[in-house]
Each structure stands twice: as C-alpha cells, then as structure tokens.
C-alpha cells in the first residue's frame, strides 16, 4: 500500500466540511481504487474532508484525458447514480427550486458549502481483500465520524445513510439502531437510513418528496 493510500485509508473521510448542516454517509467510494485518487487528495492538503471540486481539478492534472472527470465544470457531467438523488433530498428538505445540476457544480461537497459527502471507508470495495472483507480502520473511522456528529456546534440537521446492507455500521455512527421506518434521532439531528439511491428505480420527485418528509419531521421535533 502506498504511503498516500495508507494515510487516506485512515484519515480521509470524503468531501465538504464537518460543519455542514446536511450530511450524506456511504460505505465506500464507487469506481476503481486508482493510486492517483490519493496523490490528488494529498495535493488538496490531506484533510479529513477536502473540497470535491478541487480534488477533481487536482485529479485531472495528473491522469490521462480518458480518466478525467468534469462533475464541477461550467457544464458539469451529471452524476445521476448517487449524487443527483441525494441533491434532490436536500432540495426537498430546504424547499429549494435551485437547479440540481448547478447545485452539484457549485455546492455539493464543497468546503464552504452545506452538504458533506462522507464515506466509512476511503478505499473502493474492489480493492478490499475478499478473504478478510476488512475495511481499513473501520472501527476507528466509525468512532471519528460519530465524534464529529456529536461534537459539532451546531450539529447537522440531517444525516442520511445510504445502503441498508450496512445498517449495523451506520447505527454505530448514529448512536443506536434505527426504528422500523429507518429513522433515529441523535440529539436534534435526524438520522435516516435509506436504500442506496443507485439501486432501486426511484424518480427525482420521489427523493424530493422524501426530503420534504424529513423537513416536516425536523420541524415537528422543534415545535415540541
């Protein structure tokens, strides 16, 4: 394991800022475990969370054209599988009519934005050992995310965990098991467990309405 990959396996959690009011937590990044993912992360300062657009820019500087990404370009390549459903949850939660493509380009996973993209493992699953099924530093990383969840002031309003296969690990972050509907409160933070948005066939309207439901839950909690 390269030095940069080894460091990232332990200390890199994704994109955005821990102070963001909206968090999305997945199990691991998609795609291949390319060494330049970690080289470009180091070029961003090796933070626990880095700016997604800057990371893409640093990546594009060192990889061939066929591997370059343009999710944060002036006319962005739309990431439909995971990011766009998550963006629609935020837009529903905030009752926003903002263009979701612009949201991806300008706000998703940005260090000065409001949406953090967090992974329990920074190593893509194809690179993990099929014999041990271990994810590097899993217990340590779960503890670190939970500490941020419970120590940020103010904490996030909403944390959405996606991929119900990992409900056990997510419940450790959230502070306990989710109820039968997939919800749990951690103080004033609403935690929601959902199927991976890339798996079931759901419309963007579905995800926006789900965000609106989460908003009503948060408002009802505050009014008590």
Model pLDDT for residues 38-79, shown as the tens digit of each residue: 999 999 999 999 999 999 999 999 999 999 999 999 999 999
* Closest to 188 in 3D by CA, of 155, 161, 214: 155
Architecture of domain 3-223: 3-Layer(aba) Sandwich (3.40)
Q: What are the boundaries of each domain within the chain?
A: 3-223
Residue 29 reports pLDDT greater than 90? no
Nearest to 71 by CA among 44, 29, 104: 104
Distance CA 13, CA 211 (A): 24
Q: Is the dihedral of CA 176, 178, 179, 183 positive or negative?
A: positive
pLDDT, residue 125, reads: 64
Tens digit of pLDDT for each residue in 120-146?
A: 999 876 544 443 445 668 999 999 999
- Is 192 or 30 the better-scoring residue by pLDDT? 192
Q: From residue 153, give the alpha-carbon distance in Å to each of 18, 120, 169, 187, 196.
A: 10, 22, 24, 12, 29
pLDDT of 3 > 70? The answer is yes
Distance set, CA 74 to CA 58, 98, 103, 144 (Å): 16, 16, 12, 35
């Amino acid at each position: 394991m390269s030095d940069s990959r080894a460091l990232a396996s332990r200390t890199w959690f994704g994109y955005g800022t821990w102070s963001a009011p909206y968090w999305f937590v997945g199990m691991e990044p998609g795609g291949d475990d390319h060494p330049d993912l970690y080289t470009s992360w180091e070029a961003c300062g090796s933070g626990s969370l880095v700016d997604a657009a800057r990371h893409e820019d640093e990546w594009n500087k060192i990889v061939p054209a066929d591997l370059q990404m343009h999710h944060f370009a002036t006319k962005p390549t739309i990431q439909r599988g995971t990011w766009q459903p998550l963006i629609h949850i935020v837009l529903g939660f905030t009752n926003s009519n903002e263009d979701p493509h612009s949201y991806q380009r300008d706000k998703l996973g940005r260090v000065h934005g409001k949406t953090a993209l967090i992974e329990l493992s920074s190593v893509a699953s194809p690179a993990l050992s099929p014999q041990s099924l271990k994810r590097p530093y899993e217990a340590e990383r779960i503890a670190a995310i939970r500490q941020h969840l419970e120590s940020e002031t103010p904490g996030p309003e909403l944390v959405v965990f996606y991929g119900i296969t990992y409900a056990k690990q997510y419940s450790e972050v959230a502070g306990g098991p989710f109820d039968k509907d997939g919800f749990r409160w951690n103080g004033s933070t609403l935690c929601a467990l959902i199927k991976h948005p890339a798996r079931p066939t759901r419309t963007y309207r579905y995800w926006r309405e789900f965000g609106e439901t989460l908003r009503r839950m948060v408002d009802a909690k505050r009014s008590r």
